[in-house]
Structure 1
Amino acid sequence: MKLVAPLDSFGRGDLAMAGGKGANLGELVRNGFPVPGGFVVTTHAYDVIAQGHGTRAYFEQVELPDELREAVAGAYAALGGGPVAVRSSATAEDLPGAAFAGQQDTYLNVVGEQAVLDAVRRCWGSLWTDRAVAYRARLGIDDSEVRIAVVVQSMVEADLAGVMFTANPVTGDRAQLVVDASSGLGEAVVSGLVTPDHYVISDAGTAFTPGRREVVIRGAADGGVTRETGSAAQERLPDAALGELVRLGKEVAAHFGRPQDIEWAYAGGRVHLLQARPMTALPPPPLGRLNPAQRRVASVLMEYLPERPYPIDMTTWIPYGPVGLMARVAAGFGIAGVFEGFLREEDGVVYQLVPQSPRPTRNLPAVPFSLLARARKFDPARWTEDPRFRAYLAGVRELAARDLAELPWAELVRMPRQALDLVGPVTGLRADYLPGTGLALLRLLVAVKLLGRGRLFGDLLHGARTRTTDANQALERLAELARRTGALDGGPRPAEFEEELRAFLAEYGHRETSSPILVTTPTWSDAPGTVIDLIKALTAGPPARKDGDDALDRLLRHPWLTAGGRARMRRRVEAARAGVAFREDSHFYFMMPQPILRRSLLEIGRRLRGQGLLDRPEDVFHLRLPELEAIRDVTATAGADRERLREAVRARAAKREELSGVRLIDPAAVFPVRETGDALVTGSPASGGVTTGPVKVIREPSEFAKLESGDVLVCPYTNPSWTPLFQLASAVVVDAGGAASHAAIVAREYGIPAVMGTGRATSVLADGQPVTVNGDTGRVTRAL
């Protein structure tokens, strides 16, 4: 347990002793990269001094034992006793998902033994600044688990210095390197004090943007640094030096196996590497040009994924829930690959959505015959009479009735898999009854087209009674009850309202708030505030839903129809509506296992927290189902297994935090920006009509109560939980989706204009902004 050791004593596996910066630099030195010589004051030295103390003031004043002073002095003398850079190197920094950039201190051009010792003390103390403590808390890193080393390196009095990224930090392009350079020490670039020269290097060449070099930082003769006024005319990085930087950057990235953020200096005709760490918050690599099928698939998935999946999602509800169901149904229809492998992970966390292209399966030639046979055999109007459906409901009720808190661990840890096993029969139901739905819709469409009434087709479907319309009507009744009793006026809610709300949640509480394909997002029962917000919004007035029966009456008055023709047309409309109801209701029932799964996972999380393996029950979402199933006895998990579990949660939580501002996919790749002319945004026309109103941006269910009657609803996605808002909105503008998406269908039902697939409406339009929405052309313009 050395107090001080040379840099080349360490490698990437020595994080606990040298900290992130020291371990990475030692790895570079060992592998022959041009790194200035230096030594590390190890975390063991910190432990000797710390002795349980955790304030900056303590470390800045503490007396160092003779053994440590002599070790530092000897290592400093071995470097030549000249100017050095003294850098903090915490055990939780310079890691994938936790860069800690700027959180701990660095001191440049430190001269003299006593000055070095003082700088080491200040580096230790910087572990306990308010900003560093808050940063660790945000990443869920326990203060007691963090220690700090200090790296001391020979100072490079740079002619030019800066930063190099071995991937483009803005676009995520791994085939580009980005170099920022300016005169003097690199601190001016790192601290953002200058506009540096900017190079973007790729196989196609180098793009150069000159900087302004407002400030130049240089080492002072007696230690410390000085700031001088710079000049844009100062020396630029020679081509040979740039080429050497690029070569080194590629080699460093290849060595560490991931894109790197590298600080460098150029002095005396040589390039020196001062620091290397994994790039953080790096966008996914550009996908290139997507084909129409990929864009269509991506538009659906973007609606389904308003937030990043957790590891537990990737091993439970995503492969077994609606997405897995769609993949299996599509395979039965002769199409494979549509909903498979579309999420890529890095460090155990989803970082990119990559839409796949559908491909035919070997059974495709036989599919039309199979579909026709199923369409004749399975009537969507009678699907709830299917024995498979009844068995499914019985299984759901039996599993939902179990008292999770009373289950022994062995039974509890099997509950998630049992909940997932319930889903299988629904796949068969969807595969068998969807052909009848498609045939009924096709027959009706052909019939109304032949009569020259094709524009009525969408309106004719609105008369379908579904569990979604049942839920919406129940919400409307709750809103009327709230108006009548003043239940939402701020005081205690009346017992009558509370009873009706409980009954509503018992029937509809399994509905998703934001995503149907994630188990980690809450349901209405988990987040009843979402339902209250919907009720508040609905107290504004009665719905303005279209009347499907009015469209049917207009169709039946067609002069070409005989009495028999009208009867046949009515049957076709009823069959098509039954198909629509099947599609909607099968999803409603299909979501029933999700809250059972979610509750069982959270109960597992509570047990793990009780044993000190997790800090919060929700931390279980950072684990994968096989990892949970591998825990045979929650009370006996100790030692290496315990630490491995906690480290997996910490690392994945940090990675997720790092990616919090990074999109899973660039909307412009899915919805290419078109020439807008005088339009603010454009998209796909999805529900006809033109209306004007003030914008209200609603990004998530917690903002439902913001919407007022007559607002233009602007949102990133929608799902059935959003449906009640459509009776208040004068129009809908959505980032994702197309004409067949949920928002488009509901907008047509309520007779309001809708523009889908804008890709950027929520970032371009602002609350209160008056706009005109044209649902016929897909344009949103400023209101005059």
Structure 2
Amino acid sequence: MTAPSPPSPPGRSSVLPLSALGAGDLDRAGGKAANLGELLRAGLPVPPGAVITTDAYVAAAHRAGLDALLADPAAPPSALRRALEDAPIAADLDREIRSAYQGLRGPGEDEARVAVRSSATAEDLPGAAFAGQQDTVLDVRGEEEVLAAVRRCWASLWTDRAVSYRRERGIDPHEVRIAVILQRMVPARWAGVAFTADPVTGARDRLVIDAVPGLGEAVVSGAVTAEHLVVGPAGRVLSRTPGRDPATGAVPAALPHEVLTALLPLARRIDEHFGRPQDIEWAADGSGVQITQARPMTALPPPSVPLSPAQRLQCSVLLEFLPVRPYPLDVTTQIAHGPARMMQGIARFYGVEGLFAGFLREEDGVAVQLLPARARPTARLLATPAKLAARIRRFDPAVWARDPRQQEFLAEIAALEDLDLAALDWQSLLAVPPRAFATLETCRDLRIDYLPGSAAAVARLALLALLLGEHALIADLLGGARTRTADADRALEELADAVRADPALTERMIAARSPEELVRLAADRGHPLLQDGLARFLEEFGRRETTSSMLVSTPTLDECPEIVLGMVRANLARPRDATPRASRSRAARSRLLAHPGLRGPRAADRADRWIRAAQAGVAFREDSHFHFTAALPTLRRALRESGRRLAAAGVLEDPEDVLHLRWEEISAIPAPESLPEARCRELRRAVRRRAARRAELEGVPMLDAARVFPSRGGPGALATGMPSGAGIATGPARIIRGPEDFARLQDGDVLVCPFTNPAWTPLFLRAAAVVVDAGSPGSHAAIVAREQGIPSVTATGTGTRLIEDGALVTVDGTHGRVTPAAGS
């Protein structure tokens, strides 16, 4: 931390009337005072007050010796607080504060009763509310008490929690200042807070009011349970929950109707004035309602809007691909040019515009809402049957890997992986991401050509099995496909077998208590089987994403050996599968071909060809997905290298800050070393601003999941969703939120997770059933569950929140229900 800048030149007043300030005075007055001054200018009822500006704080900080303390990285925040609380106030400022205080006396008062409120320059901003981080002292009387309260407010800028809060939100401590408000107390009969949107649902047509008799500080501090009202757009009270004093259990009187009717129009005017939902503190005396504070609402969910069936379908897919909020760099690289654009291109080719296009709403580069556009059929849709028929005839999925385009794709991936990124000049480094994006155009074209034949082959086999009454065989028949995912599963099993050959190593891996311990074991040269086997696995399959193929901000598998080692450890802890998938597939094939309905060798031969064609179709679907993440490791390395260079040149404070930049901002930099300082400051400010906004939105969903996955109800159900894998299974629920939790899943557990992707496939070998927040019957989780023959329920929306980890549950994949197990 560095010291505040020197005090302003003499002649600039350090104490101003609240009415002289407005929204443009943030630097001098702080967020709280600037907002109150703005409300006064708009004619809203705000108690009179004065502001001790940030200039006064800077001068006091110098007098208190904060320069030396801030320059010392070992100085704790408590030392700064003590210095400010103990420092005398300069004589001229002392006179100004006393004069301002005396000016707030009401008629007939010997001493004014005032509230002394902190107003920091990083406070009450969109993205950083700082609610409760700095001090407010209520009902202060007397000049000496006011001066002491001012010093206390200054010191509260450096409480441990305020310092931590700013650090978490990327707010530069060098730029933080604090003003102090002296404001005449309202002799409140009722007080509280009013939100101009529902803070839980995000509904903008609701006002939510908490009210208590007396001072509103009891609401903000949580000292009492306030009366809670939800008011609809016409002013009608939709719900009212009585307040309660936790100390006595008493229920106070209800908020008077005249106070409510006076408050509602004021709240709406404030919302309209600032142009976004507001968190308002108010107090009501005998003369009416007064506004004591207004700030933007933070952590507010996006508005919940109705979705068309096509939008719900897109959202069910996108929620799988975007299980976490993307960074600005995600949005402008892999999301803009990756799988979503590929799906958009396929839909456009077949005559549908807008599918998977423009589905993220951003504010200042930060993704705040997931809302797909409405898909529009075009005249080209009329030609789709002919296009599909032509591609089914021409493009056989069984030979897709020999397509010259795929060979060129693999050559380009190899060339990208051979690049020495650290040796490239800046402009050559910037050329790498566009090359990575271009590889996905090949993947798109191959999927356009080969998916029709894949889908037709699977549909033909499914129809045959249904006609023969053998629909239960479909999953096992398709599960015999040789895919890169199946190869990865087999490689993991082989690696586990290699470790089993060393009983001591096996015991150490099973006993390992952390991922770090597993990594240390693999790095030990005394275990070459594990070390070499892990290296081979990562070389072959490390391109896979760990979270989503749409994100560059999350690592690929080759960056996370602990995930692979965790899966090996889990394999070691259970016996080998006595009936591998390939064996089940062969048995299902023999049973189908022996069916009496396939009389004669020609019918059986035709059915056998259909089985092999369907398996080839499944293999194309899986393997083309495996390949369209092939450029992801190189893309991540190139972007991380750009972040390293920007930080080394002083453009960014940390290499990881590059995630908060947009690709167009990075690619517009001619050379990091020669970038003008003004532009560097602008980029750093953008990073801090976006980091603060993301921190505010942590835990806030980008979409109302109930719109996508409406509850199907049912008595006693813990969660309901779409039936995606038939059957019933019972087991302990295991909440697995990401790869870091993989090792927690044991044989026979019910896998409950927010999403899955191919990196999760080995978990299905151990799970008794699968329950997923997102997805659909055609999603990765559903397909793999059916191939493994285990029940699955997708699109629960809330399974990971409503099902308790470790609870014994029964999953009914036929009807899409999860219930407590009998007797549990």
TM-score (norm. length: structure 1): 0.94
Aligned partners of 2:392 and 2:450 also within 8 Å: yes
Give secondary structure in 2 for the equivalent of 1:567. helix
In 2 relative to 1, CA 692–117 (structure 1 residues): closer, same or farther, beyond 3 Å? same
For 1:737, the aligned partner's letter is G
In 2 relative to 1, CA 527–475 (structure 1 residues): closer, same or farther, beyond 3 Å? same
Mapped to 2, the partners of 1:9 and 1:427 lie a distance apart of 61
- Give the structure 2 partner of residue 300 of structure 1: 317
Mapped to 1, the partners of 2:757 and 2:575 lie a distance apart of 22
Aligned partners of 1:183 and 1:213 also within 8 Å: no
Mapped to 2, the partners of 1:371 and 1:211 lie a distance apart of 63
- Give the structure 2 partner of residue 766 of structure 1: 804
Aligned partners of 2:499 and 2:529 also within 8 Å: no
Deviations along 1:610-645, whole A, 9 cap, x unmatched? 233333322211111111112222123343322221
Deviations along 1:55-75, whole A, 9 cap, x unmatched? 111100001111221222232
One of 549, 556, 560 as aligned partner of 1:523: 556
Q: Does 1:324 align with 2:341?
A: yes
- Give the structure 1 partner of residue 176 of structure 2: 146
One of 447, 457, 479 as aligned partner of 1:462: 479
Q: Does 1:100 align with 2:134?
A: no
One of 633, 636, 639 as aligned partner of 2:677: 639
Give secondary structure in 2 for the equivalent of 1:39. strand
In 2 relative to 1, CA 33–414 (structure 1 residues): closer, same or farther, beyond 3 Å? farther
Give secondary structure in 1 for the equivalent of 2:767. coil
Q: Does 1:34 align with 2:45?
A: yes
In 2 relative to 1, CA 42–701 (structure 1 residues): closer, same or farther, beyond 3 Å? same
- Give the structure 2 partner of residue 225 of structure 1: none
Mapped to 2, the partners of 1:496 and 1:135 lie a distance apart of 47
- Give the structure 2 partner of residue 279 of structure 1: 297
For 2:595, the aligned partner's letter is H
Deviations along 1:115-147, whole A, 9 cap, x unmatched? 222111110101111111121222222322322
Deviations along 1:205-261, whole A, 9 cap, x unmatched? 22352533539xxxxxxxxxxxx989645473333x323322222221122111000
Cα distance, 1:36 vs structure 2: 1.6
One of 236, 255, 270 as aligned partner of 1:236: 255
Q: Does 1:374 align with 2:391?
A: yes
Cα distance, 1:417 vs structure 2: 2.4
Of 114-123 and 664-673, deviating more is 664-673
Aligned partners of 2:735 and 2:751 also within 8 Å: yes
- Give the structure 1 partner of residue 660 of structure 2: 622
- Give the structure 1 partner of residue 280 of structure 2: 262
Mapped to 1, the partners of 2:241 and 2:809 lie a distance apart of 40
Cα distance, 1:181 vs structure 2: 1.5
TM-score (norm. length: structure 2): 0.90
One of 58, 61, 66 as aligned partner of 2:91: 66
Give secondary structure in 2 for the equivalent of 1:363. helix
Aligned partners of 1:38 and 1:79 also within 8 Å: yes
Gaps of 5+ in 1: 216-227
- Give the structure 1 partner of residue 186 of structure 2: 156
- Give the structure 1 partner of residue 59 of structure 2: 48
For 2:398, the aligned partner's letter is A
For 1:521, the aligned partner's letter is T
- Give the structure 2 partner of residue 10 of structure 1: 21
For 2:245, the aligned partner's letter is E
- Give the structure 1 partner of residue 576 of structure 2: 542
For 1:69, the aligned partner's letter is D
Aligned partners of 1:197 and 1:208 also within 8 Å: no
- Give the structure 2 partner of residue 730 of structure 1: 768
In 2 relative to 1, CA 760–608 (structure 1 residues): closer, same or farther, beyond 3 Å? same
Deviations along 1:705-762, whole A, 9 cap, x unmatched? 1111111211111111111111111221222222211111111222222222222222
Matches within 5 A, 1:596-675: 596-675=634-713
Q: Does 1:440 align with 2:454?
A: no
Q: Does 1:178 align with 2:195?
A: no
Mapped to 1, the partners of 2:491 and 2:250 lie a distance apart of 70
- Give the structure 2 partner of residue 406 of structure 1: 423
Cα distance, 1:352 vs structure 2: 1.9
Aligned partners of 1:4 and 1:40 also within 8 Å: yes
Of 637-646 and 568-577, deviating more is 637-646
Give secondary structure in 2 for the equivalent of 1:463. coil
Aligned partners of 1:85 and 1:106 also within 8 Å: yes
- Give the structure 1 partner of residue 717 of structure 2: 679
- Give the structure 1 partner of residue 145 of structure 2: 115
Deviations along 1:143-196, whole A, 9 cap, x unmatched? 223221112212212121111111111111001111212111111111112222
Aligned partners of 1:693 and 1:772 also within 8 Å: yes
Corresponding residue pairs, total: 770
Gaps of 5+ in 2: 1-7, 71-79, 106-110, 513-520
Give secondary structure in 1 for the equivalent of 2:550. coil
Mapped to 1, the partners of 2:255 and 2:394 lie a distance apart of 77
Cα distance, 1:6 vs structure 2: 2.1
Aligned partners of 2:171 and 2:689 also within 8 Å: no
Of 488-497 and 628-637, deviating more is 488-497
Q: Does 1:750 align with 2:762?
A: no
Aligned partners of 2:719 and 2:802 also within 8 Å: yes
Mapped to 2, the partners of 1:21 and 1:577 lie a distance apart of 65
In 2 relative to 1, CA 8–233 (structure 1 residues): closer, same or farther, beyond 3 Å? closer
Identity of aligned residues (%): 52
Deviations along 1:339-391, whole A, 9 cap, x unmatched? 11222223432122224443312201111111111221221112122222122
Mapped to 2, the partners of 1:416 and 1:542 lie a distance apart of 42
Mapped to 2, the partners of 1:245 and 1:139 lie a distance apart of 33
Cα distance, 1:684 vs structure 2: 2.3
Aligned partners of 2:365 and 2:662 also within 8 Å: no
Aligned partners of 1:713 and 1:730 also within 8 Å: yes
- Give the structure 1 partner of residue 438 of structure 2: 421
In 2 relative to 1, CA 652–461 (structure 1 residues): closer, same or farther, beyond 3 Å? same
Give secondary structure in 1 for the equivalent of 2:501. helix
- Give the structure 2 partner of residue 132 of structure 1: 162
Give secondary structure in 2 for the equivalent of 1:100. coil
In 2 relative to 1, CA 235–747 (structure 1 residues): closer, same or farther, beyond 3 Å? closer
Mapped to 2, the partners of 1:235 and 1:670 lie a distance apart of 38
CA RMSD, 1 decimal: 2.0
For 1:594, the aligned partner's letter is L
